Chain A
Amino acid sequence: MIKEGVQPLDSLRLVANYAAQAPCYICAADNTYDAELCRQCFAPMALAHQAASQKIRPRLLATIGASGAGKTVYLGMLMDMLSRQPDRLQMLARGAFSITLQQSTASALSRGEFPSKTPSEPDRWNWVHCQIRATSLKSPLDLVMPDLAGEALLEEVDHPYTYDVIHPLLSKCAGVLILIDAVKLQSGSLDQDYFTMKLLSYLAEIDERPRHGWARRPIGFVLTKADECEECFIDPAAFAEARAPGFWRQCRERFRNYRFFASGVAGGCAYRQSRAGLVRVPLRVEPRGIVEPFEWLVQQVKH
């Protein structure tokens, strides 16, 4: 015999939450409300929750470049500098996860080491969600910036849609900083030139709209490790034109809003023997040209 009755559901709210799917802020894939990372692209779901709860749509900015160009060091150092000395720009992290990148970068540099290579797996990338305040901004600007792995970018550029996160991210980005290893350019290596050409070509084809496509979105080219080739600081654009004519020409013909910068973090470098061979280590940390590219990009995307 079956006795009829009403069984109270203790977890009604849980069920309701599970029924309502939360879209990922990057790829818009549906996720359960308690998912930490998007099941499709592995972007942190905290971005979506923060956007929903605070009723703001953060702008996306990306820092891209070849493996070893210095993306992690640049982004981590930038975050640390802006949070420690709020002169021109002030950065406030939104969420504890946004501080991990600057913590790991500053910690490694103060030990006399560069931070470890960013792994290729997107679920291990660091993301930064922050609020930028500046006298030049009428209202605070919310930004989301991931620390992408160079190998993943290379794989995605060569084989589009290999990584579910990169294409939607770069499609939605308001602007990018493309990092180029100035020391390799100076040494005559053309790898940086070719890879940057690939990146530019990839960007141009992601969104070809004449008014809102990448042709008009801001692109900052940052020549990194310029402390080891000081002529970079004198005229970064001339340096790039002389040593990377391929991407220089492509840039001039396909893009309208771009600028060249030079930056350096280490005042000098040496090499330490490790199991993996010689590892480059900074002899001292003297950031130079770190804030300027980001400041320019923020000015370009603020509207």
Chain B
Amino acid sequence: MNHTGQKTMAANDRRHWAYWVAGAAGMVLASAWWMNWWGIVASGCGLLTWLALGCRGRPAVPPSTVAEPVDLSDDEPREPDAGDVESLVDGMLRQDRYALLLRRQVVGNLSPEQFAQARDVLEEQMALVPEGQVTLSRSASERMDRDDAAEEQRFVQPLFLDRYPVTNAQYQRFVKAGGYQQMPLWDPQIWPAVLDFVDASGNPGPRFWKHGKFAKGEANHPVVGVSWYEAAAYARWVGKRLPSEAEWVKAGSWPVPLSEEQQWQRKFPWGDTMDRQRCNLWGSGPGHAVAVTEFAAGVSVGGVYQLIGNVWEWTSGTFGVVTADGDELSLPVPMKSIRGGAFDTYFENQATCQFESGENPLARKHNIGFRCALGMCDVAPHPGAPDEPALAEAEGVLA
């Protein structure tokens, strides 16, 4: 390597370190989030510092499926102004971060109108899944519709689940807000890999984007090409989390208790019979992912769209299916659970509410997206009356 090359590499290394330090510093300040709004200011400072350094991430081999990007910069909300609560609230609502506003620890800062506005957005974008028992199949036998499938009963606390999978437009707000540089959003063990989560042009973002932007006409398509860690980081940024397997299955199969021991669960969100006109699977027509609002006929009882088909969805669970003989499958790498099937899922018995598949959490595939969940216990009932346990928790956080 010549001298110029060495100098360039050293400069790049310095840039990377500077970027890490700036991002981390911003996020340390952001830890004061619950006390006041300095976290926003700090996040913005970290982001601006990073941008000023000109750090654009590592280049990547572009996949063949990358389409021309679309620039939504004029349409996208700006970073909220921390000095003005009203503007801050508006900005966070535009970024779909209403779940943070509705936290018991934060909601006291909102006016009744702002609270009502945030609550309206929550109810518009998320569906309520009531508490109750749900049966999960833990056996590969389920795939064969056999009766000897190993079953497991789980109790699910009430929660809100996104009505639609997270879209490209929603995810772009996360990317533009510097989500890939806010290290507290990411699991510590994955920090070394975050630099590798780049798009086709080497910028932070989903694998099939280019220059930090998604393809034209796909704003309302589910975001794909994101690893499990990217999905989890986005969920944290909007104040939510990935749904557990039991929560996901409960939202889709909508169990109805018949007795204390028995319950009836749907095989598909719309009933027990496959209908390829209600979901985007292989043979349904499109042959590719479609907008999250399509296939509305496949909506669940609770009002959740596209649980089956279009794209697989990451859940927080770990994949570990057992065979009909009770032996666990041996996995090449530890996998996270994905559910629901995708536009290229061939067999209908692999696109049921119960069917579970697995994928390497670092995989960034063309047919895996996600949606977020929010525990009902994490949502304040109304601004003026946080309950006692929540107050105690908030005091603990502040202390």
Contact = CB atoms under 8 A, between A and B. Distances in A.
Contact of B349 (A85, A110, A278, A287): A110
B86 to A, nearest CB: 47
A268 B344 contact: no
A286 B342 contact: yes
Given A267-B367, A270-B331, A272-B329, A283 B344 contact: no
A285 B329 contact: no
A269 B283 contact: no
B298 interface: no
Given A112-B140, A285-B350, A231 B342 contact: no
Taking chain B's interface residues, is the majority helix, strand, or loop, or is none over half, making it mixed?
A: loop
Contacts of B349: 110
A18 interface: no
B248 interface: no
B64 A270 contact: no
A257 to B, nearest CB: 23
Contacts of A233: 63-64
A32 to B, nearest CB: 42
Interface in A246-285: 267-273, 278, 281, 283-285
Contact of B330 (A106, A267, A273, A285): A273
Contact of B345 (A270, A272, A284): A284
Contact of A269 (B332, B341, B344, B346): B332
A84 interface: yes
Contacts of B347: 106, 109-110, 285
A269 B345 CA distance: 15
B283 A85 contact: yes
B283 A270 contact: no
Given A285-B346, A286-B344, A272 B367 contact: no
B327 A268 contact: no
Given A84-B283, A231-B61, A284 B350 contact: yes
B346 A271 contact: no
B348 to A, nearest CB: 9
B367 A271 contact: no
Interface residues of A, number: 27
A270 B143 contact: no
B171 interface: no
Nearest to B355: A284
B346 A235 contact: no
Contacts of A110: 143-144, 347, 349-350
A270 B358 contact: yes
Contacts of B143: 110-112
B65 to A, nearest CB: 8
Contact of A111 (B144, B327, B365): B144
A281 to B, nearest CB: 7
A270 B344 CA distance: 19
Interface in B70-101: none
A287 B346 CA distance: 7
B357 A267 contact: yes
Contact of B344 (A111, A278, A287): A287
Nearest to A111: B144
B282 interface: yes
B332 A270 contact: yes
Contacts of B367: 267, 286
Contacts of B144: 110-112
Contacts of B357: 267-268, 283-284
A234 B330 contact: no
A293 to B, nearest CB: 16
A233 to B, nearest CB: 7
A287 B367 CA distance: 12
A278 B329 CA distance: 10
A112 B350 CA distance: 9
A288 interface: yes
A285 B345 contact: yes
B220 interface: no
B230 interface: no
A244 to B, nearest CB: 20
B323 A272 contact: yes
B329 A281 contact: yes
B138 to A, nearest CB: 14
Interface in B314-344: 321, 323, 327, 329-332, 335, 341-342, 344
A226 B331 CA distance: 18
Contacts of B64: 233-235
A263 to B, nearest CB: 13
A286 B282 CA distance: 8
B359 interface: yes
Contacts of B358: 268, 270, 283
Contacts of A281: 329
B282 A278 contact: no
Contact of A287 (B282, B332, B335, B350): B282
Q: Quick one: which of B143, B341, B349, B350 has the most chain A CB within 10 A?
A: B350
A271 B321 CA distance: 11
A292 to B, nearest CB: 13
A127 to B, nearest CB: 24
A109 B327 CA distance: 19
Interface string B29-73: 000000000000000000000000000000001011000000000
A84 B346 CA distance: 11
Contacts of A230: 63, 365
Contacts of A286: 282, 342, 344-346, 367
A239 B64 CA distance: 13
Q: Quick one: which of A234, A271, A284, A287 has the most chain B CB within 10 A?
A: A284
Nearest to A233: B64
Q: Quick one: which of A85, A110, A235, A268 has the most chain B CB within 10 A?
A: A268
Given A110-B144, A235-B64, A286-B345, 6 more contacts: A106-B347, A109-B346, A230-B63, A231-B61, A267-B345, A273-B327
11 contacts: A111-B143, A111-B144, A112-B143, A230-B63, A267-B357, A271-B329, A271-B331, A272-B327, A278-B330, A286-B282, A287-B346
Q: Which 7 A-B pairs have the closest CB atoms?
A: A271-B330, A270-B329, A285-B346, A286-B344, A284-B357, A110-B347, A283-B357
